[in-house]
Amino acid sequence: MDSWYPRMAKPWDSWGMLACLCTVLWHLPAVPALNRTGDLGPGPSIQKTYDLTRYLEHQLRSLAGTYLNYLGPPFNEPDFNPPRLGAETLPRATVDLEVWRSLNDKLRLTQNYEAYSHLLCYLRGLNRQAATAELRRSLAHFCTSLQGLLGSIAGVMAALGYPLPQPLPGTEPTWTPGPAHSDFLQKMDDFWLLKELQTWLWRSAKDFNRLKKKMQPPAAAVTLHLGAHGF
Amino acid sequence: MALFEVFQTTFFLTLLSLRTYQSEVLAERVPLTPVSLKVSTNSARQSLHLQWTVQNLPYHQELKMVFQIQISRIETSNVIWVGNYSTTVKWNQVLHWSWESELPLECATHFVRIKSVVDDARFPEPNFWSNWSSWEEVSGKETSTERLKKPCKVTTPLSVQDSLGQDILFVFPKDKLVEEGANVTICYISRNIQNNVSCYWEGKQIYGEQLDPHVSVFHLSSVPFIRKTGADMYCEVSQGNVSTSIKGIVLFVSKVLEEPKDFSCETRDFKTLHCTWDPGVDTALGWSKQPSQSYTLFESFSGEKKLCTHQNWCNWQITQDSQETYNFTLIAENYLRKRSVNILFNLTHQVYPMNPFSVNFENVNATNAIMTWKVYSVKNNFTYLCQIEVYCEGKMKQQYNVSIKMNGEYFLSDLEPFTEYMARVRCAGASHFWKWSQWSGQNFTTLEAAPSEAPDVWRNVNSEPGSHIVTLFWKPLSKLHANGKILFYNVVVENLDKPSKSELHSVPAPAKSTKLTLDRHSYEIWVTANNSVGASPASIIVISADPENQEVEEERIADTEGRFSLSWKPQPGDVVGYVVDWCDHPQYTLCDLQWKNVGPNATSTVISTDAFRPGVRYNFRIYGLSTKRIACLLEKKTGYSQELAPSDNPHMLVDKLTSHSFTLSWKYYSTESQPGFIQGYHVYLKSKARQCHPRFERAVLTDGSECCKYKIDNPEEKALIVDNLKPKSVYEIFVTPFTSAGEGPNATFTKVTTPDEHSSMLIYILLPMSFCVLLIMIGCYLKSQWIKETCYPDIPDPYKSSILSLIKFKEKPHLTIMNVSDCIPDAIEVVSKPEGTKIQFRKSLTETELTKPNYLYLLPTEKNHSGPVPFICFENLTYNQATSDSGSCGHVPVPMKPPPSQLGLMISPENVKKALGKNYMNSLGEISAGGTNLNYVSQLASPMSGDKDSLPTNPVEPSNCSEYKRQMAVPLCLASPPLTENSSLSSITLLNPGEHYR
């Protein structure tokens, strides 16, 4: 209970505090973390991107349910886990943990950007073939959100000074069912598209969380720095 | 001879040519063999397509031939189908024939061979079959697996090859489109027979028949429509629980295309034909497998065709005015089926006219009007059949049909005056009815006419001395009879007993009654309703000079639940009818009198109205109407539409309370104003006794408590003696009335406590005693003077003293007693000793030097008595404790004391007044310590008596006092006059009561 009561500073304490404050104010411009006045860095945009991935993850959950029901069994069965046949063009989200850890920021962001660029394209193809208006609406809404995520990633990359990956000529992903592609395989592709999208959103959440932590201002360092001045 | 030669030559030549032909055909009978047989497959349609030619067919000749085709599966010996194909074969012609397999061709290798025979009438029997062609093989599994390594022998679609790849599992056919109810055969080919392959149809595992170690076949019979995105059949190869390969097909099952229903075409303007139909189910499938069925309109006479853009209607432009007949075929088509319907019609028979317009009414009067309208002219001499309907208040009143060309007109009659009508018209083709147009209508109102019926009039007569107050009531005329807006009612009163001028009273509408004061004569009253056109027939009523017979007994009628069934005895003599009247709201002053007219032959009627409320008593009067229109009261009825339980309980009075009984009464309880006929009362009695009193029965109250109940069946019996009670006991009692609907509301019980048995006796004793005492007191009061003089005179009469008699008796026969009048008072001593001021007094006494006694000397001439002059003095006994304690009023020796020093203060008028006033207000027991009182001082006071509170003043020597001093009491009421030092009172003694009664 004692701690709740303010203690009167002794006269020599007041003088000491004032001296310390002046010292701190004198040295503030020298603290690197506080040096960027007005420029908050990529931190907020990474946070926004992270939030967007979580939102899209939630949004995809309901969309996938609707779409897989539209495909019918076995695609809407919870334990349906087919081998990943076909759908080779889909960017794989799964990666070895060590490899993932060793990714640098640029590569990490580039992989995310490229993956969503492809996935967005495939998703638009999905939208075109959807038979019901309601499903088309949901897909269009999701595509818009995904487009937003792509823009957000681009923003983070720009903030960090990384260039956007340029697609090689002729390698733009296009949704073409092709005459030899059976409807069953097409359904399988759709299934894997949604599944891969979900995995990518999980991975992106981890990616951006990692980036976020990395980009956070070193608050501990500031404290230590100030502590050296008498606190 | 020459003719013979010519004929012979011709015959020879013909015979020769015939022989030549025969020899040729015979020569070719063996070589007419199908050659160059090629087999191709259509994977989607699962069909084999054969093409061949016939070798050695004569040049430019045609022959009818039959080809027998044999199809084997897996191996040549396993013939699964044999069939003939007849056709006319030309020289060098390539023949085509297709066969559809129920099994996907990829599932097994098929073998095909063909042979032929000439089936031409020109070549009679015997004909011989050619040799079989060699077997053509259409590889299934082998081609699927081996084809990648070696070139194919037969042409197969690229798609089959492409889909195979290096996979270990294949499912055939590829995605398939079938109609609902079709049988579908599916197979899987497993590259390795060791593989564990499981197959599923719509999520459920299915088991097939093994065609060979690599191939299994599944027969799905009568597949249903499941969803637009198709139903999935898939197989997977699994090792353990892990699926290593998965292959499947999507079976798109289309709904069966229905034949369009209700196909018809019509025209409104002879320019466009509008055709409509019911398309039935939509057969569209997802993934663009099958769009919605298309509809095409084909007209056979013109040969024109139009692809319809809508699913259920199509417009056809009429280009040729001359064409009157049309033969339309509507073709519905999807990928699997084509359906068509046909109609043939004459254009003029399919006219759906435009809506009529310019509907108007002319020459509208009270009962008729002329209706006019127009129709669009679409074709010369086209006749319309028009239908007219006349509505009034939403109900159709009249309907007419009329044929017109362009302008329609119809005379509407039998209309009601002053009524709003709605008339509407619609038209159709007259020559051949096809369809009515929409209605076109307009409202109109007929003009007013004089009211057609006399108002229904009734009266209420209140007889007063020398006059009748007649209130006439009438019901507003119905709209049907008013024929316009009623403006006023005319009431004409005519005296029937003596000739006089009729009186006219005009009552403006919407009044429904009027009051007339008539003298005691018979009157005939005529009432008419008037609108702007005229007056209605009169309603006549006669008021008799005799007062209405009120001595008719009222009869109760039973609960009828909103309806009252009234019956009465028929009135003797001629009656023109009966009238029953009542009030809808009898509880109000304006009770809303209602009446009902009943025919002369009726003796009963039912009164039913929404105004009847439960719990309200309705009184009905039944009158007979004589031929002279005089109403005679026949019967009175009263009843409730629904009886309710009483709304309140009587106020109960308990009297005649004894230790064993009491009487309950509720005589002021009104049984008439209750919401039901009071049938009696229930008296509930609660007591500590377990058993009920005689006549009471045990009952359980709504709260579950038990009590005793007594039932009084007579509603007018409003008292009850409750007896057989125990003395000094508490009884709780409650009286509630009851109707047929139940008892009155619950209320609290009233407690009655019976008195003690002896207390009554005590009362019998005490009352007379009190009376006696009172009498004595009154007697005492009246004779108070006498009693006073007798018992305690102010001045005792020595003559009457018992001592005197004793003395007289014992000692001296002659005694002289001094007369009071002989004694002349000379001084009054005023004594005052307020308790509260004692100390102050002492102090003041010490401060004020009073050397003289406070005697007021009444005889100024004897100011300074020094000698023993006889006088009567009143002594201050304030400080005489012994006097107080003695309790006697005299004969106690009182020392002569000096008067209190503060006397001057106390005798001031204010102080005295205050002191007396205080004393007057206080009773003896409440005398304040500081109060002042009077005392009587005996003149026989002992001068030797000490007073411990006496002040050190100069006491007056009492030696000169006479033996007997005069005493006076000042009544308190007399204390009000201001007392001054010069007051001429005889003697005033003010004493402290506290001291006095110590």
Q: Give the model's confidence band at B829: pLDDT under 50 very low, under 70 low, under 90 confident, else very high.
A: low
The answer on pLDDT for B839 being more than 50 is no
Name the nearest CA neighbour of B367 among B343, B345, B398: B398
Q: Mutate which of A134, A139, A182, A189 to disrupt the B interface (most B C-beta within 10 Å)?
A: A182
Which H helix or E strand runs over B316?
strand B313-317
Q: Give the model's confidence band at B802: pLDDT under 50 very low, under 70 low, under 90 confident, else very high.
A: low
Q: What's chain B's average pLDDT?
A: 77
Largest CA distance in chain A: 89
CB B559 within 8 Å of CB B638: no
In this predicted structure, what is the pLDDT of residue B558? 78
In this predicted structure, what is the pLDDT of residue B455? 93
In this predicted structure, what is the pLDDT of residue B182? 92
In this predicted structure, what is the pLDDT of residue B505? 92
* Paired tokens of B661: 């009984």
CB B40 within 8 Å of CB B48: yes
Q: Give the model's confidence band at A215: pLDDT under 50 very low, under 70 low, under 90 confident, else very high.
A: confident
* Paired tokens of B340: 């068509």
Say how far apart CA A183 and CA A191 lie, in whole Å. 12
Pairing state between β B730-739 and B680-686: antiparallel
Flag if B162 and A73 touch (Cβ within 8 Å).
no
Determine what percent of chain B is predicted with pLDDT higher than 70.
73
DSSP string for B75-128: STT-EEEEEEEEEEEETTPEEEEEEE-SS-GGGS-EEEEEEEEE--TTSPSP--
CB B168 within 8 Å of CB B190: yes
In this predicted structure, what is the pLDDT of residue B809? 54
The answer on pLDDT for A36 being more than 60 is no
Kindly report which listed range (A49-63, B68-82, B316-330, B866-880) carries the lowest average pLDDT score. B866-880
Flag if A70 and B229 touch (Cβ within 8 Å).
yes
In this predicted structure, what is the pLDDT of residue A188? 87
**Which residues of B are less than 8 Å from A71 in CB distance?**
229, 232
Average pLDDT over residues A197-216: 88
Pinpoint the alpha helices (H) of B618-756. none
Kindly report which listed range (A187-196, B57-66, B631-640, B721-730) carries the lowest average pLDDT score. B57-66
CB-facing half-sphere around the CA of B958: CA atoms within 13 A: 22
Q: Mutate which of A184, A186, A187, A190 to disrupt the B interface (most B C-beta within 10 Å)?
A: A184
In this predicted structure, what is the pLDDT of residue B876? 44
**Which residue among A82, A85, A187 places its CB closest to the CB of B250?**
A187
**Which residues of A are less than 8 Å from B171 in CB distance?**
184
CB B672 within 8 Å of CB B709: no
In this predicted structure, what is the pLDDT of residue B768? 86
In this predicted structure, what is the pLDDT of residue B814? 56
**Which residues of B are less than 8 Å from A129 in CB distance?**
286-288
In this predicted structure, what is the pLDDT of residue B502? 87
A166 in contact with B, Cβ within 8 Å: no
Flag if B245 and A83 touch (Cβ within 8 Å).
yes
**Which residues of B are less than 8 Å from A70 in CB distance?**
227, 229
**Which residue among B228, B244, B250 places its CB closest to the CB of A184?**
B250
Q: Give the model's confidence band at B792: pLDDT under 50 very low, under 70 low, under 90 confident, else very high.
A: confident
Chain-centroid distance of CA B110 in Å reads 81
In this predicted structure, what is the pLDDT of residue B905? 40
C-alpha torsion sign, points B858, B860, B861, B863: positive
Name the nearest CA neighbour of A152 among A87, A63, A55, A219: A55
A178 in contact with B, Cβ within 8 Å: no
In this predicted structure, what is the pLDDT of residue B729? 85
pLDDT higher at B886 or A197: A197
Flag if B287 and A186 touch (Cβ within 8 Å).
yes
Sheet order of strands, B110-118 included: B79-90, B62-73, B110-118, B136-138
Flag if B250 and A81 touch (Cβ within 8 Å).
no
Tell me how close the Cα of A197 comes to any Cα of chain B, in angstroms: 21
**Which residues of A are less than 8 Å from B287 in CB distance?**
129, 131, 183, 186
Say how far apart CA B419 and CA B394 lie, in whole Å. 12
Flag if A72 and B228 touch (Cβ within 8 Å).
no
Pairing state between β B242-254 and B231-239: antiparallel
A69 in contact with B, Cβ within 8 Å: no
Q: What does each C-alpha distance from B151 to B147, B154, B164, B754 come to in angstroms?
A: 6, 9, 15, 131
CB-facing half-sphere around the CA of B226: CA atoms within 13 A: 20
In this predicted structure, what is the pLDDT of residue B37? 87
Please name the amino acid found at residue B520. R
Q: Give the model's confidence band at B19: pLDDT under 50 very low, under 70 low, under 90 confident, else very high.
A: very low
Flag if B287 and A129 touch (Cβ within 8 Å).
yes
A82 in contact with B, Cβ within 8 Å: yes
Specify the pTM. 0.54
The answer on pLDDT for B162 being more than 80 is no
Average pLDDT over residues B357-375: 93
* Contact residues for B142 (Cβ-Cβ < 8 A; gap 6+): B109
Average pLDDT over residues B776-786: 86
* A to B CB pairs, distance under 8 Å: 69
Average pLDDT over residues B411-417: 92
In this predicted structure, what is the pLDDT of residue A199? 92
Pairing state between β B631-640 and B554-557: parallel
Say how far apart CA B169 and CA B194 lie, in whole Å. 12
CB-facing half-sphere around the CA of B488: CA atoms within 13 A: 8
Average pLDDT over residues B609-614: 85
The answer on pLDDT for A172 being more than 70 is no
In this predicted structure, what is the pLDDT of residue B176? 86
**Which residues of A are less than 8 Å from B253 in CB distance?**
none
Say how far apart CA B933 and CA B935 lie, in whole Å. 7
Question: What are B254-269's pLDDT values in tens digits?
Answer: 999 999 999 999 999 8
Average pLDDT over residues A82-97: 79
CB-facing half-sphere around the CA of B523: CA atoms within 13 A: 27
Say how far apart CA B342 and CA B299 lie, in whole Å. 9
Question: What are B928-968's pLDDT values in tens digits?
Answer: 433 344 444 444 444 444 444 433 344 444 434 334 444 44
In this predicted structure, what is the pLDDT of residue B878? 42
A81 in contact with B, Cβ within 8 Å: yes
The answer on pLDDT for B852 being more than 80 is no
The answer on pLDDT for B508 being more than 90 is yes
Question: What are B85-130's pLDDT values in tens digits?
Answer: 999 888 888 999 999 998 988 888 899 999 988 887 777 666 788 8
Flag if A73 and B287 touch (Cβ within 8 Å).
no
**Which residue among A72, A129, A182 places its CB closest to the CB of B174?**
A182
The answer on pLDDT for A89 being more than 60 is yes
pLDDT higher at B359 or B55: B359
Average pLDDT over residues B975-997: 38
pLDDT higher at B485 or B831: B485
How many separate helices (H) and strands (E) can be counted in chain B?
12, 55
Say how far apart CA B422 and CA B393 lie, in whole Å. 8
Q: Which regions of B334-383 does DSSP assign to beta strands (E)?
A: 338-346, 357-362, 369-374
Name the nearest CA neighbour of B583 among B619, B609, B550: B619
Flag if A72 and B229 touch (Cβ within 8 Å).
yes
Q: Give the model's confidence band at B832: pLDDT under 50 very low, under 70 low, under 90 confident, else very high.
A: low
Which H helix or E strand runs over B841?
helix B838-847
The answer on pLDDT for B64 being more than 70 is yes
Question: What are B665-689's pLDDT values in tens digits?
Answer: 988 888 888 888 899 999 988 888 7
A71 in contact with B, Cβ within 8 Å: yes
Which H helix or E strand runs over A223?
helix A219-227
Tell me how close the Cα of B122 comes to any Cα of chain A, in angstroms: 51
* Backbone dihedral angles phi then psi of residue B670, each to the nearest 5 degrees: -90, 120
Q: Which regions of B496-592 does DSSP assign to beta strands (E)?
A: 503-508, 513-519, 523-530, 539-543, 554-557, 563-567, 575-583
Task: Give the total residue count for chain B.
Answer: 998
> B796-829 as b/e, with b when 16 or more CB fall inside 10 Å?
eeeeeeeeeeeeeeeeeeeeeeeeeeebebbbbb
A73 in contact with B, Cβ within 8 Å: yes
Q: Mutate which of B169, B177, B250, B292 to disrupt the A interface (most A C-beta within 10 Å)?
A: B250
Kindly report which listed range (A177-181, B439-443, B565-569) carries the lowest average pLDDT score. A177-181
The answer on pLDDT for B728 being more than 80 is yes
Average pLDDT over residues A5-10: 35
Average pLDDT over residues B631-637: 89
> B213-233 as b/e, with b when 16 or more CB fall inside 10 Å?
ebbbbbebeebebbbbbbbbb
**Which residues of A are less than 8 Å from B236 in CB distance?**
82
The answer on pLDDT for A92 being more than 80 is yes
Tokens 């087999």 belong to B39
The answer on pLDDT for B285 being more than 60 is yes
Say how far apart CA B773 and CA B598 lie, in whole Å. 80
Q: Is B739 exposed, middle or buried (0-12, 13-18, 19+ CB in 10 A)?
A: buried
Kindly report which listed range (A5-14, A59-68, B61-70, B587-596) carries the lowest average pLDDT score. A5-14
Kindly report which listed range (A208-217, B414-423, B621-630) carries the lowest average pLDDT score. A208-217
The answer on pLDDT for A171 being more than 80 is no
The answer on pLDDT for B769 being more than 70 is yes
**Which residues of B are less than 8 Å from A188 in CB distance?**
246, 248
> A79-88 as b/e, with b when 16 or more CB fall inside 10 Å?
ebebebbbbe
A87 in contact with B, Cβ within 8 Å: no
In this predicted structure, what is the pLDDT of residue B265? 94
Average pLDDT over residues B573-587: 88
In this predicted structure, what is the pLDDT of residue B748? 82
pLDDT higher at B617 or B880: B617
Q: Give the model's confidence band at B279: pLDDT under 50 very low, under 70 low, under 90 confident, else very high.
A: very high
In this predicted structure, what is the pLDDT of residue B703? 77
Chain-centroid distance of CA B352 in Å reads 50
**Which residues of A are less than 8 Å from B246 in CB distance?**
82-83, 85, 188
CB B409 within 8 Å of CB B370: yes
Tell me how close the Cα of B49 comes to any Cα of chain A, in angstroms: 22
Q: Give the model's confidence band at B316: pLDDT under 50 very low, under 70 low, under 90 confident, else very high.
A: very high
Flag if B243 and A81 touch (Cβ within 8 Å).
yes
Q: Give the model's confidence band at B410: pLDDT under 50 very low, under 70 low, under 90 confident, else very high.
A: very high
C-alpha torsion sign, points B14, B20, B21, B22: positive
Flag if A131 and B252 touch (Cβ within 8 Å).
no
**Which residues of A are less than 8 Å from B290 in CB distance?**
none
**Which residue among B202, B228, B230 places its CB closest to the CB of A183?**
B230
